[in-house]
Amino acid sequence: MVDSPSLPLADDGYPAAGGVARRPAGAEESVRANRRWWDAAAPAYLTEHGADLGDVDFLWCPEGLREADAHLLGEVAGRRVLEIGCGSAPCARWLRRQGADVVALDLSAGMLARAAELNRSTGIDLPLVQADAGALPFTDASLDLACSAFGGLPFVADVGAALREVARVLRPGGRFVASVNHPMRWPFPDSPDPEDLRIVSSYFDRTPYVETDAAGRTVYVEHHRTVGDWVRAVVGAGLVLEDLVEPEWTPGRTQNWGQWSPARGALVPGTLVLVCRR
């Protein structure tokens, strides 16, 4: 993919948002904006969350659910696995350490650059691929497993197309597990404070959340789906939905992560995990 000009950063190191809107945003706009945003945001994001994510660990969600405890992917040793939206690729390295044959994919060159550094520092070598979740560069029925831990799916305009791509590259019986923002988070303010659990928008409003820079260019897009939307997208892609997991907050975990917090996590779900098979 062609590199884009870097975005101006705010004091916290994240791309500065000149404006926020709820309006339609298609596939091309979403891909272009989110690639630039994550390229620019990678250093600040990993400074803030890198210690929690780890270098070789599989964290499904801010609630603290880890694959070492959940075993949502089943047996991974000897399996051909794709991680979609890998970021700095700690999940993929964890899978490689468990004996899987892993490929890590992300839209962001900035994130993949950090993933390459961590491959070298950990001594765990795995292939890194820059690509869009809606156009996976793999042949039909070539993978045993696919996974995505808050990677890719919340940011794609056409989630049905992305899930059809997953179904296409999985072998019959192959497993796909993905964690996404719980749809119940959408109507509430983006705050970790349980006092802010008040409805400020409609759960049924699927209009994307869009940030623009000072020049009015789109720099970030996130797409909302209801629980029913996710179920229909999974089934419509030819996958079988085996489970919907809503992780509870891990006892003793104290980390806030954006609007996720122990106090708020005790009251409402923050993550939805889709467990599917081809």
Give the pLDDT confidence of 97-132 residue by residue, as tens digits. Answer: 999 999 999 999 999 999 999 999 999 999 999 999
Q: For strand 240-245 and strand 218-222, is the pairing parallel, antiparallel, or unpaired? A: unpaired
pLDDT at residue 16 is higher than 80 = yes
CA–CA separation, 169 vs 83, rounded Å? 12
Q: How would residue 183 be classed by pLDDT, with cut points 50, 70 and 90? A: very high
Helices 109-122 + 27-53 axis angle, to 10: 30
- pTM for this entry: 0.95
Residue 186: predicted pLDDT:
93
Assess if residue 234 is contained within a domain.
yes
pLDDT digits (tens, 9 = 90+) for 259-276: 999 999 999 999 999 999
Assess if residue 13 is contained within a domain.
no
Over residues 159-187, the mean pLDDT reads 97
Residue 3: predicted pLDDT:
46
Residue 274: predicted pLDDT:
98
Assess if residue 80 is contained within a domain.
yes
Q: How would residue 215 be classed by pLDDT, with cut points 50, 70 and 90? A: confident
pLDDT at residue 189 is higher than 70 = yes
Strands of 209-212's sheet, edge to edge?
Answer: 19-22, 209-212, 218-222
Assess if residue 8 is contained within a domain.
no
Half-sphere exposure (Cβ direction) of 166: Cα atoms closer than 13 Å: 38
Assess if residue 79 is contained within a domain.
yes
Report the number of distinct structural domains present in the chain: 1
Provide the residue range defining the domain that includes 125: 19-277
CATH code for the domain of 141? 3.40.50.150
Residue 6: predicted pLDDT:
76
pLDDT at residue 200 is higher than 70 = yes
Task: Give 253's contacts (C-beta < 8 A, 6+ positions apart).
Answer: 63, 64, 262
pLDDT digits (tens, 9 = 90+) for 62-105: 999 999 999 999 999 999 999 999 999 999 999 999 999 999 99
pLDDT digits (tens, 9 = 90+) for 225-249: 999 999 999 999 999 999 999 999 9
**Number of helices and strands in the chain (H, E):** 7, 10
Mean pLDDT of all residues in the chain? 95
**DSSP H helices in the chain:** 27-53, 67-70, 90-97, 109-122, 159-169, 227-236, 262-265
Query: Could you tell me the maximum CA-CA distance found in the chain, to the nearest angstrom?
Result: 49
Assess if residue 187 is contained within a domain.
yes
Assess if residue 218 is contained within a domain.
yes
pLDDT at residue 27 is higher than 60 = yes
Residue 230: predicted pLDDT:
98
Q: How would residue 214 be classed by pLDDT, with cut points 50, 70 and 90? A: confident
Q: How would residue 176 be classed by pLDDT, with cut points 50, 70 and 90? A: very high
pLDDT at residue 4 is higher than 90 = no
Assess if residue 190 is contained within a domain.
yes
Residue 5: predicted pLDDT:
56
CA 57 to chain centre: 15
Encode 113-150: b = buried (16+ Cβ within 10 Å), e = exposed: ebbeebbeebebebebbeebbbebebeeeebbbbbbbb
Residue 133: predicted pLDDT:
95
Residues in the chain: 278
